[in-house]
A and B are shown apart, each in its own frame.
Chain A
Amino acid sequence: MVFFLQQLVSGISIGSIYALLAVGYALVYSVYNFTNWAFDAFMVTGAFAAFYGISLYHMPFPAAIAFSIVMTVALAMFVETVAYRPLRAHNAPRLFMMISAMGASLAVVNIANLAFGGSFRKFPEITAGAYRLGGVSVGRMDLFAAGFACVVLGLLWLFLERTRFGLGVRASALDTVTAGLMGVNNNQVALIIFGISGVLSAVAGVFFGAKYAVYPYLGTVTIKAMIGSIIGGIGSLPGAVLGSLLLGIMETMISSYISSVYRDLFSFSILVIMLLFFPSGLMGAKRVVKL
């Protein structure tokens, strides 16, 4: 039982990182109906910015997170302006959007690989140690990551529900063209959304790097986040969180009870099963909870 609870804790910890990314996917999807394939590039940028902020410039951890967020948001907005906006402007097919995004991600990830080298780097220790709760140990860093993820998601919710800009984003999510006619600046909304994605992926990148290692191809975990958001029902923010947590927990259970080799096989089978039997996901059917 203790073992099971321990695995549950690890599952929630990795699931909360997936959740940050999955919310980013869901947000971009809910407004523009397309999947942001450049997410892994954002995440890598976030992880490397924080890593070099701490190891080269000896920043304290909060400053490193802030630095990482600034860098990633800048990249996200740059990618939006260069790779997406011209295509959106002339209503390019979705295929072209995907290829353009794939190109942006390929370029950024391989620049990171060339500039910094492909080795795995250990993230500098932030807080060591663990709390013990009746035999179950909860890593201090894991707890901090999960708490930070909750705070970020809470702030995002406040932003979307309580501010003028959030209202604009929600209006665009309902109907981009009509929102544009009603005076919502669609390009501004796009920048806001990509800025938010930048924040989410930077935080996810930092905590993923801190949990495992920092390396140029760490962005491949974004595929898990995408599976998480499909489980939850793509386009639904609460669904994305729920689906990611479920995926994180199930993956950890598979790794510990069966074999870690088959963990990715399992996640992929989940994707196929969801597509076959629950194409709209757990929470995607209700169109009301789109945002």
Chain B
Amino acid sequence: MSRRSLLGLAALGLAACKKGSSPPTPRVDPDATALAAARDGELTLIRSCEAVGFTADQNIHTAHFKALGGVFPSAPVMPKLLQTDEIQSAVRGSVASLRGAAVAAIDGDHAARFASIAASHEVMAGE
């Protein structure tokens, strides 16, 4: 059997599969869980910084949130607000998980963003 006829058979096989197959499922981002967790953390920091008037930090966390693909919800979502001293420890505490997400990210662009946000949080925690 020639290579061309084999290709023809393969095409027929694919067509047969298509007839009975279910509609294609949307591609799932393998980093979706880590991205969502990081966005949740940033949203909490944004709202907490806003509540205590840390405008500069709020702006940085907003940039992080957007870099993670975050879009502010149209309906008000109020995460649990952190107290002033809790903000600093939350930022410090997030460094390890963000770095872990960076190392484990399947998508390189996500990895770089996680690593950069971890770096930013590390600097902020040390200030």
A and B interact? no
